[in-house]
Structure 1
Amino acid sequence: MSVASPHPGSRVTNSGSVVVVGSFNVDHVWTVAALPRPGETLSGQYRTGPGGKGFNQATAAARAGAPTVFVCALGEDLGGQLARALAAADGLDLREHASHEPTGTAGIYVDHDGRNSIVIGPGANADLPVDFVESQRGAIEGAHVLLAQLESPLASIEAAFEVARAAGVRTMLNPAPADARVPASLLALSDVITPNETEFCAQLERHLGERLDASTVAALDDDALHAWCRRLLPHGTVVVTLGAAGCFVSHADVALHRDARTHYRVAAAKVQPQDTTGAGDAFNGALAASWALRPEAAFADHLHYANRYAALSTERAGAAASMPHDADVRQRFG
């Protein structure tokens, strides 16, 4: 894998702002006693609401207090109307490509323990053009952090990262969903990647040819996990989210982001989870916002905030709707 040089940190023009490039979905959610098995029909409670990894993360960043631009593709339908209304309500600066495809959708099953299974219908999300992303150059160059996931075309995400890297803007990649084939060139443009255990193992296999059982990641010795991270992203930072076990961070020696240690764990906050849908997105949006708003703080401080933010989101139902405001987090955890 080719590796870019460490982030130059040469120019950040608008400290405090976040640009999120990604997806918007209308979520259809069924709460059931247990997740359905093949061939099984269950009864459950139904609700609908906004989601999509991009919109969830943008909503989290905005509610965490960062001025946030959301670059996406929407259909000319009721789902698109919903996205526009919700973006306006949360003060998101919405930059949308008008697609002839329907707005994205997701079918979500949530059991009584808060676990979920999700099926995505990408629709307009798969129709975000490179040239539209490049037309948002001014917003990207003016941000402190650019954040993206993998529910949009990879070429468009990479185009955004190229603009950001040239401008000295920090880049965060959430390599989700796990079945997305992240090119080495996109990893090379990423200052920070934030996989969960399954996504981490998927990238290890694709880029290094190494197989690791996702269920064993949280129990790995810190030095061993750090070594895996260094092989995957030699130039940057890997944050592996571990659910109830918190997260593990691994920095390159040349990119500590004001931390004193190259690797360590941050414990999860104690909450009573009701619905884990969107918790990873809550973490990513809050991490980007905290990093943008307080670039002088140690990276560990941003991780502590993101862990608390994500934990609180699990006590609420829904995806984007579950994202707390900064005041809620501070009132709960101090």
Structure 2
Amino acid sequence: MKKVIILGSTNVDTILNVQRFPQPGETMAMNSMAVAGGGKGANQAIAAVRSGAETTFISKVGHEGAANFMLDTFKEDGMNIDHVTTSETAGTGQAYIMVDENGQNSILIYGGANQDITNEDIQAAKGSIKAADRIVAQFEVPIPSVIEAFKIARENDVQTILNPAPAIKNIPDDLLSVTDMIVPNETESEIITGIKVTDEASMEASAKEFFKMGVKAVIITVGDRGSFYATSEQSGFVNAFKVKAADTTAAGDTFIGALSSKLELDYSNLEEAMTYANKASSLAVQIKGAQNSIPYAKDILAD
């Protein structure tokens, strides 16, 4: 069983189901609305724990009822939430997600308490980070806190995986220097490297740019096509499972959380772990919503 730390955001998602996305200035009716748990960090932590990883979550929430709703969800899945703390100044993060009839989404984020995570919070979790196999983080929390956590990890031979989302063009060198693996989607990869991802050759070129930045391994996810991988020793492509998507929300987070639960630290089972993660994502996109759609290991391993 892998010991996984997830450092990241906790959001409450308001999901707006629409026939199509509105044009600028247009007013239109929704098909339906729902409220559910979300946030890239929380999604990835739930995906990891549901795939059998011993998962500790580092996050921050507000004082309101939304926070209790999220904490109850984490407890139900058996996640360690000793380092999910409460902000004294901000509410729990919020996300507003529009999903069209083809399952594509557009998302607006209010950071809230997620932006209150500090280096002091990371230091409080130092013992847990030191005891882990790997730590995963994204950019929905302050980058200085991610750097602090990854430095602790690197000093203690704990593998670091960065999901650079939402993407920023210039990732600080201090962070890249302590990142073992980076996992962007094709859009995020293009923003960071400047190389448009269109085929396997452009993915290879993108990976070389990431290697120049100092990371040791790269996975680029490309939606319903699958995912590309590259290390100093190997590269290749793992095809996605073909399904009809109802909602792509949390597909990438499901992939990363599931991957973190199965990947060996020496990448010896990289293709196998990616196939498992691709299947997890294929199950998630067939159900509307974020955390409620994230599958359990028994479902992913079923024929």
Q: TM-score, normalised by structure 2?
A: 0.94
Q: CA deviation at 1:180?
A: 6.9
How far apart in 1 are the matches of 2:19 and 2:43? 25
Superposed displacement of residue 296, structure 1? 7.9
What is the alpha-carbon root mean square deviation over aligned residues? 1.6
| Distance in 2, Cα, partners of 1:330 & 1:17 | 20
Match of 1:249? 229
- For the 8 Å contact 2:169–2:192, the answer to whether it is kept is no
Per the alignment, in what secondary structure is the counterpart of residue 233 of structure 1?
helix
* 1:316 equivalenced with 2:287 (yes/no): yes
Residue of structure 1 equivalent to 2:207 = 229
The one-letter code matched in structure 1 to 2:210 is: L
Structure 1 CA distance for aligned equivalents of residues 6 and 239 of structure 2:
26
Provide the secondary structure at the position in 1 that maps to 2:44.
helix
1:233, distance to aligned residue in structure 2 (A): 2.5
1:172 to 118, 143, 161: 161
Tell me how far apart the structure 1 counterparts of residues 11 and 146 of structure 2 sit (CA, whole Å): 18
CA distances 1:10-29 after superposition (whole Å, capped 9, x unpaired): xxxxx611100000000001
| CA offset digits 1:61-102 (Å, max 9, x no partner) | 000111100000110111211121111101011112210210
Partner of 1:268: 240
- The answer to whether the 8 A contact 2:195-2:206 is kept is no
Give the drift of 1:37: 1.9
The aligned length equals 298
* Kept in 2: contact 1:218–1:242 (CA 8 A): no
After superposition, residues 125-140 of structure 1 pair within 5 angstroms as 125-140=114-129
Say if 1:295 and 1:61 are closer, same or farther in 2 by CA, change over 3 A.
Answer: farther
Aligned to 2:188: 199
Instruction: Tell me which residue corresponds to 1:6.
Output: none
What amino acid is aligned across from residue 212 of structure 1 in structure 2?
Answer: I
Greater Cα offset, 42-51 or 294-303: 294-303
* Residue 98 of structure 1 pairs with residue 86 of structure 2: yes
Using the aligned pairs only, state the percent identity: 35
- Tell me which amino acid in the other structure corresponds to 2:207: C
- Give 1:298 shift: 1.6
**Alignment match, 1:5:** none
Q: Measure the CA separation in 1 of the matches of 2:247 and 2:257.
A: 18
The equivalent of 1:84 in structure 2 is 71
Alignment-mate amino acid for residue 73 of structure 1: K
1:124-154 Cα offsets, whole Å, 9 max, x none, are 0000011111111111111111001110000
What SS does the corresponding residue of 2:198 show, helix, strand or coil?
helix
Write the distance in 2 (CA, Å) between the matches of 1:242 and 1:154: 25
Tell me if the contact between 1:176 and 1:195 (Cα under 8 Å) persists in the aligned partners.
Answer: yes
> Distance between the aligned counterparts of 1:27 and 1:180, measured in 2?
26
Task: Provide runs of 4+ in structure 1 moved above 6 Å.
Answer: none
State the match for 1:256 in structure 2.
none
Task: Tell me whether 1:120 sits opposite 2:92 in the alignment.
Answer: no
Counterpart of 2:235, as a letter, is: H
Displacement of 1:38 in angstroms is 1.3
Give the match for residue 207 of structure 1: none
Name structure 2 gaps, 5 residues minimum.
Answer: none
1:317 is displaced (CA, Å) by: 1.3
Deviation at 1:179, TM superposition (A): 3.9
1-side partners of 2:254 and 2:169: how far apart?
20
**Retained in 1: the 8 A contact 2:181–2:217?**
yes
State the Cα distance separating 1:263 from its structure 2 match.
Answer: 0.9
Matched residue of 2:263: which SS? helix
Does 2:278 align with 1:278? no
Q: Distance in 1 between matches of 2:247 and 2:116?
A: 30
Structural mapping, 1:140-219, within 5 Å: 140-179=129-168, 181-204=170-193, 211-213=194-196, 217-219=197-199
Find the aligned partners of 2:244 and 2:289 in 1 and give their Cα distance.
15
Query: Paired residue for 2:4?
Result: 18
- Alpha-carbon deviations, 1:34-69, whole Å to 9, x = none? 012211122111000000000000000000111100
User: Could you tell which deviates more after superposition, 171-180 or 308-317?
Assistant: 171-180
The answer on whether the counterparts of 1:75 and 1:124 sit within 8 Å (CA) in structure 2 is yes
| Partner Cα separation in structure 2 for residue 227 and residue 29 of structure 1 | 36
Following superposition, the deviation at residue 295 of structure 1 comes to: 6.5
Q: TM-score, normalised by structure 1?
A: 0.86
